[in-house]
Structure formats: C-alpha cells, structure tokens
Amino acid sequence: MNINEAKEFIKQTVSLYLEKDETGDYIIPVSRQRPVFLLGAPGVGKTAIMEQIAAELGIALVSYSMTHHTRQSAIGLPMIRRELFDGVETEVTEYTMSEIIVSIYETRKQSGIDEGILFLDEINCVSETLAPSMLQFLQYKVFGRHAVPNGWIIVTAGNPPQFNRSVREFDVAVMDRLKVLKVEPDFLSFKKYAMTKAIHPTIINFLDMNRDYFYKIENTPDGRTYVTARGWEDLSEMLILYEKKGYHVDEKLVAQYIYNTLIVREFSAYYELYNKYNKEYLITEILQGSSLDDFKDKAAMATADERLSIMSMLADRVIHDTKTCMIKTDYLAKTASLLKVAKTPDPERVTTFLDSKIETLEREMNAKKKAMSLSSDEESKQRHVILVITQLKEAFLSSRVYNYSVVKDTFSTMLDELKQSIEQIKSELANLFIFTSAAFGEGTEMETLVTRLTSNPHSSGFISRFGSPEFERFSGMSASDIPGGEMSNEVARLFEDRRDILKAERSADSYVFDDIISL
C-alpha cells in the first residue's frame, strides 16, 4: 500500500482502539490491541503521517527511535527496596519507570490530553539486550513492571533489511502480535501531499515528467545512491528560502538532498529552465490581464515542457494567493466567533476579555504543541488569531472613544480588505482561464489547469465558496460540485450562519459582504 492508504488504515485502527462502551471501558481490551508495524523504505513519510494522525484525531503523540535504547533505558534501572515476607524483612529488586513511559505521563500532564499514540520508530533495530523484552511489550504494553497508560495506542515502524544493516528479523511469535503494513513509495500519493503542503513547483513538475526519479535507491560502483520523498521535501524548503534571500541555487545545493548525480544534474537544469521561463513570461502582468495578447502567441508556439512550466507558474501563483486568502478567511472567522460575545460598554471588561482570549489561545496552542497534536496549518491559524486580537486590543487602547465600536470598526476594516483580496483573486482566475484558452485552446493544458485547481484544497475551497464563472465555463463543472472544496465549520459559519457576525449572499459570480451584525 502507499503512504496515504497506510495513514487512513492507522487512523481507523487508532479510532477503533479508543472506542468505549457504555460503562467507559475500551471495547477492545489492551491485550487484543495489536500494535501497528509500519514497514517501509526510509524517507517515505512514516513519521510525518503519525504527526498528521495525532493532529487530526486531537490526541497526543510521543515518538521514540529505538536504535539508541538499551535494556536499562527502556525497561528502567534496578533499585533495592525492603519488603516483609512471613515476618522476615527481605531486600528485593525493583525497576525504576522506563524513560519511555515517563514521557507519556509528562506529555499527559503538560498537555492535558489523556489519550494518544506511542510511536516507536526503527523497532526492528533494538539492541540484543532489549530484544527479549519486546514480546512482552508488544502483547501486554508493559516495559518492566510499568504499563503504557490506558488510552495510549502503540504504533511501530521499521525499515526492511535491505535498507538497514542493523535490522533484526522478528520471529513468528512477535510478528503474530502485530498488524503489519508494508508501505511502498508512490509518486501520486506524494504529489497529492506536495500540492497541499506547497512543495516547490519545480519539484512537482520535474517529478511529474520523471516519475522514476521520485524514489530511487541503487548500488553503483561508486557506492549507494538514494533519492527519497524526505529529500525532495527538505530540498523544497531550502529552495523557497534561497529564493526569498536571493541566493543562487546550483547543483551543489541540490546534491546535499538528492544523492544521485544524474538526477541532481537533470533537476538543476530544469530548475534553471523554469526560472528562465519565469523571467520571459511576466506572470503578474498576465494574471492582471495587461499582457494577455503579448504572450499568448509565444506560449502557443512553445514546446510541451515549456507549456507545462508556463501553466505551472500561472496556476501556482493563483494557488498561493488563494491559500493566503483562505487562511485569512479562516482565522478572521475564528476571531469573529470570539468577538461576538465581547460586546460591552465597559472598557475594562473589553480589555480583560481580549487579554483572556489571547492567554487562552496561547495556552491551548502550547499544550497541543507539547502533545505534538498541532498541525503546522492549525498553529499558523492560531497565531494569526492571536495577532488579530492583539491588533484589535491595541486599536481599542489607542482610541479616545472608549466603546466597543472601535473594535467593531477595526475588524470591519479587516473584512473589507478580505473582500478586496477575494475580488482580486477572482480576477486572476478569469485572466488565467482566458490566457490558457487563447494560447492553448481547451486541450491538454486546460485539463491540466482544471486538475491543478481542483486538487488543491485552497484553490478548490476558494472556487467552491466564492465562485468563478470562467472555471465553470471551461471546466464544465459547477463550482459547488468541486471535490475537496469543503471548508472548515468555522469558515462555513462565517459565510452562511445568519446568527454570526457576517452575512453573505451568493450571486452568480460573487459573494456580497453585508454590514457586520451588531456585536
């Protein structure tokens, strides 16, 4: 199975293990909760999906690599205590609590989250001294005399022997106590993930044209070469930072993440070509509609690779803008739901309320971070909510008029800016489709564009929420029928719930923001 399928399977398994009956007991007893064993090549995303699962289920995550653990660190250290047996005081040996078990209790205490996942990576690389204890642990969830707390599900992972010389093959007694999931590298799964995580477009396009280069491990006369999903994602982050700083990208940088000379050379050449097209085609001007005629004939005469690059540059710019807009919509929606209950003519109560909201949000965010159950997108939204509330508080304190209308008017200005952003992006979408149609007609390039926009959650969410006549015209699809166009409950309430601060009315081609309902 691919990594996305493994993620859904593990998510379902964890959810079922956490199911309780009417008395509050777990339906599946601990001894029958087989740990999951995720077996796959290095760098396919095993650790990444565990963080996603914890965040999506709202539970904690404690991760450990087992390669460095000895029997003493995993089981605990021996200590002497005195016991009375048949009237005779005797010294007996006991063990301290395992470092791993202690981490679970500390996470529970710091985060306030009682249920979670204990993720033990490289489980099949444990030391010889620890191996005999693994059978007891995998069946009874016990290290030494200390059990994993109830409500904590064990997920393990490891590499097949051909990828790791330290691997110890489990015997049948151990394997019979595991749910084994064998994961294979899969480009389409990575592509789906890459488009939601804003992986650098040159990487997505390059791999789309060279899918054999996505994951490759080979033994050559010069040694082992390897290219992994982890390497591509890490390279993406560095490319984005290099471009932001204006640093030059060359083969030396690429080779730090992609350990295959041929692939490094070909990707570096494609990266330079992509940037060449980016300079030749004025992307901003095309999306503003000011240079459509100047470039449509040139684009129509371009090679297939050049066409793909042009479409990618245009689509990625729009997707980036929709992402910024949808994130802003999301955090303003959450802010609105908080502010609605703050209406008061008392200035001290206003500042106290805003301070308490900031403190609560920071406490919740820090607790989830300690539990490793906060996704990067959710953390970004929380930080923006805190920033907006802080700005509202500062506007209130700096005003000479001590009433809540100051907060209301400041927030209304933010919403006006959001509306302008929405209209600008709708214009970009219109110009994007007009240019594509004029340059390439309604063939492969148009299909690629529609697929790109509908498969990305930010652009599909934007189109399904705010509409796009050009999208509906050229795709033959109603904006409300876009797969994956759902939005969060908070965002939906922002635009649809009449009891909330805003009203929104859907017209054929736009959303009209009404005045703020009284706060």
| pLDDT score for 12 | 92
What DSSP letter does each residue of 369-381 carry, written as one string? HHTT---HHHHHH
For residues 7 and 156, state if they share a domain.
yes
For residues 331 and 459, state if they share a domain.
yes
Domain boundary among 161, 184, 207: 184
For residues 170 and 158, state if they share a domain.
yes
| pLDDT score for 256 | 94
For residues 71 and 196, state if they share a domain.
no
Rounded alpha-carbon distances, angstroms, from residue 300 to 280, 373, 436, 437, 444: 14, 48, 9, 10, 12
The CATH number of whichever domain residue 23 belongs to comes to 3.40.50.300
Domain boundary among 255, 280, 305: 280
For residues 245 and 388, state if they share a domain.
no
| pLDDT score for 235 | 95
Please list, residue by residue across 436-446, b when 16 or more beta carbons sit within 10 angstroms of its beta carbon and e when fewer do: bbebbeeeebb
| pLDDT score for 247 | 92
In a domain, 336, yes or no: yes
For residues 396 and 484, state if they share a domain.
yes
In a domain, 215, yes or no: yes
For residues 436 and 455, state if they share a domain.
yes
For residues 83 and 165, state if they share a domain.
yes
In a domain, 140, yes or no: yes
In a domain, 518, yes or no: no
State how far the Cα of 188 lies from the Cα of 185, in Å rounded to an integer.
9
In a domain, 293, yes or no: no
For residues 371 and 258, state if they share a domain.
no
Number of folded domains that form the chain: 3
For residues 227 and 376, state if they share a domain.
no
| pLDDT score for 218 | 82
In a domain, 42, yes or no: yes
| pLDDT score for 287 | 86
What DSSP letter does each residue of 27-81 carry, written as one string? SS-GGG-PPEEEEE-TTSSHHHHHHHHHHHHT-EEEEEEGGG--HHHHH--EEEE
What range defines the domain where residue 106 resides? 3-184
For residues 343 and 478, state if they share a domain.
yes
Domain boundary among 184, 205, 235: 184
Q: Is 441 left (phi over 0), alpha (psi -120 to 50) or beta?
A: left
| H or E element that contains 114 | none
Low-confidence stretches of the chain (pLDDT beneath 70):
68-79, 93-97, 127-132, 144, 162-168, 340-347, 400-404, 477-519
In a domain, 65, yes or no: yes
For residues 331 and 396, state if they share a domain.
yes
In a domain, 477, yes or no: yes
